[in-house]
Structure 1
Amino acid sequence: MILTNPISGPEVGTLWITYNEKTLIMRMLEYFIEKSDDQQAKNILGGLWQELNFYVLQMEEIFKDQGMAKPAGYTNEDVNLEAPKLYDNGFDIMFVRILKEVSMGMYTINMNMSYNDKIMQIYEGLTVVTQKIYKLSTLYLLEKGILTLPPKVTMPKTTEFIKSKSYMNGFNLFGDKRALNDLELGILHHGIETNNIGLQLITGFAQCAQNKEVKQYFVKGKELAKKQIKVMQEILLESDVQFAATSGSTVTTSTVAPFSDKLMMHCVYLLNGFGLVGSSFGTFFSLRNDIAMKATLLAKDIYFYGEEGIKIKIKNGWFEEPPQMEDRSQIIKE
Structure 2
Amino acid sequence: MNTSHDIENIRLTAAEIGELWSTYMNNSASKCLLSYFINKVKDPNISELVEFSLDLSETHLKVIEDIFKTVNHPIPQGFNEKDFNINGEKLFSDSFMLQYIKYLSRFSLYNYSEALTVSSREDVRKFFTDSIQSAVELSNKNDDVLLSKGLYIRSPYLNVPEEVSFVSKKSYIQDLFGDKRPLNSLEITQVFINMQTNILGKAFAMGLSQTIKDRKIKDYIIRGKEIAEKHIDVFSDLLKESDLPSPMTFDAEITKATDPIFSDKLVMFHFIGLTAFGVASYGNALSKSMRADVSATFTRLAAEIAKYAKDGIDIMIDNEWLEEVPNAIDRKKLIEV
> What TM-score do you get using the length of structure 2 for normalisation?
0.94
Partner of 1:324: 327
1:253 paired to 2:256? yes
1:84 paired to 2:89? yes
Partner of 2:278: 275
Q: How does 1:172-211 map to 2 (within 5 A)?
A: 172-173=177-178, 176-211=179-214
> How much does 1:78 deviate?
0.6
Aligned AA (1:136) = K
> How much does 1:183 deviate?
1.2
Q: How does 1:1-334 map to 2 (within 5 A)?
A: 3-5=7-9, 6-173=11-178, 176-247=179-250, 250-334=253-337
**CA distance in 1: counterparts of 2:63 and 2:245, whole angstroms:** 47
Is the CA contact 2:68–2:75 (under 8 Å) kept in the aligned structure 1?
Answer: yes
Is the CA contact 1:262–1:313 (under 8 Å) kept in the aligned structure 2?
Answer: yes
Is the CA contact 1:23–1:75 (under 8 Å) kept in the aligned structure 2?
Answer: yes
Aligned AA (1:312) = I
Aligned AA (1:4) = E
SS state of the match for residue 327, structure 2?
Answer: coil
**CA distance in 2: counterparts of 1:239 and 1:91, whole angstroms:** 29
CA RMSD of aligned residues (A): 1.5
Higher mean alpha-carbon deviation, 143-152 vs 12-21, is at 143-152
Distance 1:115 1:12, change over 3 A: same
Aligned AA (2:56) = E
Is the CA contact 1:170–1:291 (under 8 Å) kept in the aligned structure 2?
Answer: no
SS state of the match for residue 309, structure 1?
Answer: helix
**CA distance in 1: counterparts of 2:150 and 2:250, whole angstroms:** 9
Deviation digits for residues 33-80 of structure 1 (CA, Å, limit 9, x no counterpart): 100001111111111211221221111122222111110011111111
Is the CA contact 1:170–1:289 (under 8 Å) kept in the aligned structure 2?
Answer: yes
Unaligned runs of 5+ in 1: none
**CA distance in 2: counterparts of 1:192 and 1:327, whole angstroms:** 41
> How much does 1:99 deviate?
1.3
Aligned AA (1:228) = H
Would you say how many aligned residue pairs link Structure 1 and Structure 2? Answer: 332
> How much does 1:145 deviate?
2.2
Unaligned runs of 5+ in 2: none
Identity of aligned residues (%): 29
